[in-house]
């Protein structure tokens, strides 16, 4: 799938604490403007490029943007995905962080990547996302999207919580555990992997249900089709529990609350250039080289 030709607007998003942005952002703006692009920025980038229109990231998603240049790390990309996925705006992830599993492009390769994107020759890799609602007494309390995972965990250190899991209305199990992870294939290399879950390639049409330190040794990670609805009922959580979304947003929950997870109708679009998913496993997770 190639980048669609559209009005020449490009947006910049960045992690503001990175000192190198003072040099990189003006260079990127000059490069884009020299090729006839109108450049808009998020508020986090505005200090590095005076004179451009800046706005909240949610507002960028409402514009006819050809692509977003994201300068930061995987955490910055996760937050951008929740804003941009429903607008179908593709993203170039430029790694200014440490791991950079999702932000493929290095600073050294930034302008060659922009050249490829400008010519419409970059490929678009679509990543499935979770659409989750928390329900209390039959009413939806809050809704969030997630690119990596949702994690239902306990509020205290002393007790296990109990979670009843149903898939498409069919009872699966009661899990007594420190927590429960529902992850996408993208999130299979994140917290779920640390909890003993398998790695899924991004194109696999599945979700993972991974218990965290389960009380029963027979409770293992479970792979289900991504067309199902996963329902988690919080049980035996007298001290309360907590749900986090991509490790960035969260909500306290109570015994009896229901977490309902489905696949988001939209997919997050990530521009890819040279590397493959397995290149990432080699370089980031230190899998053996040939």
| Spatial contact of 154 and 178, defined as CB atoms under 8 Å apart | yes
Q: Model confidence over 220-268: pLDDT tens digits?
A: 999 999 999 999 999 866 667 899 999 999 999 988 999 999 999 999 9
| Confidence tier at 276 by pLDDT (50, 70, 90) | confident
For residue 157, what pLDDT is reported? 60
Q: Model confidence over 36-86: pLDDT tens digits?
A: 999 999 998 998 988 899 999 999 999 999 999 999 999 999 999 999 999
The yes-or-no verdict on residue 6 having pLDDT over 70 is: no
The yes-or-no verdict on residue 7 having pLDDT over 80 is: no
The yes-or-no verdict on residue 218 having pLDDT over 50 is: yes
Longest CA pairwise span in the chain (Å)? 61
Task: Report which of 90, 118, 95, 11 is spatially closest to residue 57, judged by C-alpha positions.
Answer: 11
For residue 156, what pLDDT is reported? 64
Q: What's the CA gap between 211 and 182, in Å, rounded?
A: 9
| Confidence tier at 215 by pLDDT (50, 70, 90) | confident
How confident is the model over 152-175, as a mean pLDDT? 86
Q: Give the pTM.
A: 0.90
- 193 or 100, which is more confident: 193
The yes-or-no verdict on residue 124 having pLDDT over 80 is: yes
Q: How far is CA 195 from the centre of its chain?
A: 18
Average pLDDT, the chain: 90
What are phi and psi for residue 196, nearest 5 degrees? 100, 10
For residue 2, what pLDDT is reported? 47
| Confidence tier at 5 by pLDDT (50, 70, 90) | very low
What are phi and psi for residue 191, nearest 5 degrees? -60, -40
For residue 174, what pLDDT is reported? 93
CA dist 103 → 52, 160, 234 (Å) = 25, 36, 35
Across-strand partners of 147? none
Q: For residue 67, give the 3-state DSSP assignment.
A: strand
CATH tag, 9-128+267-284 = 3.40.50.10330
Q: What's the CA gap between 90 and 66, in Å, rounded?
A: 7
| Spatial contact of 97 and 73, defined as CB atoms under 8 Å apart | yes
For residue 4, what pLDDT is reported? 47
Give the CA radius of gyration of the chain: 20
Q: Report the catalytic residues.
A: 74
Domain with CATH 2.60.200.30 in the chain: 130-263
For residue 216, what pLDDT is reported? 82
Q: Model confidence over 167-189: pLDDT tens digits?
A: 999 999 999 988 999 999 999 99
Express as a percent the part of the chain with pLDDT over 90: 72
CA dist 77 → 84, 104, 119, 143, 285 (Å) = 10, 11, 23, 20, 19
Q: What's the CA gap between 277 and 138, in Å, rounded?
A: 41
Q: Model confidence over 260-272: pLDDT tens digits?
A: 999 999 999 999 9
Domain with CATH 3.40.50.10330 in the chain: 9-128+267-284
CATH topology of domain 130-263: Tumour Suppressor Smad4 (2.60.200)
The yes-or-no verdict on residue 212 having pLDDT over 80 is: yes
| Confidence tier at 290 by pLDDT (50, 70, 90) | low
Express as a percent the part of the chain with pLDDT over 70: 94
């Amino acid at each position: 799938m190639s980048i669609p030709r559209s009005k020449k607007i490009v947006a910049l998003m960045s992690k503001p604490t990175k000192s190198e942005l003072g040099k990189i952002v003006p260079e990127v703006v000059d490069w884009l403007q020299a090729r006839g692009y109108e450049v808009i920025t998020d508020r986090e980038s505005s200090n590095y490029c005076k004179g451009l229109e800046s706005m909240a990231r949610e507002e960028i998603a409402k514009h006819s943007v050809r692509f977003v240049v994201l300068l930061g790390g995987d955490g910055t990309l996760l937050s951008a995905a929740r804003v941009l996925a429903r607008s179908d705006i593709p993203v170039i992830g430029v790694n200014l962080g440490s791991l950079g599993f999702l932000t493929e492009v290095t600073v050294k390769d930034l302008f060659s990547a922009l050249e490829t994107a400008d010519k419409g020759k970059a490929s678009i890799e679509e990543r499935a996302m979770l659409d989750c609602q928390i329900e209390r007494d039959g009413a939806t309390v809050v809704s969030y999207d997630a690119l990596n995972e949702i994690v239902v965990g306990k509020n205290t250190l002393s007790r296990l919580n109990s979670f009843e899991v149903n898939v498409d209305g069919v009872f699966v199990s009661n899990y007594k555990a420190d927590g429960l992870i529902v992850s996408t294939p993208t999130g299979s290399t994140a917290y779920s992997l640390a909890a003993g879950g398998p790695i899924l390639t991004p194109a696999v049409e599945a979700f993972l249900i991974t218990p965290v330190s389960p009380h029963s040794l027979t409770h293992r990670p479970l792979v289900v089709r991504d067309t199902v609805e996963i329902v988690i009922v919080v049980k035996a959580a007298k001290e309360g529990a907590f749900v986090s979304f991509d490790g960035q947003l969260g909500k306290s929950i109570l015994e009896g609350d229901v977490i309902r997870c489905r696949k988001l109708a939209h997919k997050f679009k990530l521009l890819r250039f040279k590397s493959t998913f397995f290149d990432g496993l080699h370089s980031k997770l230190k899998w053996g080289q040939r």
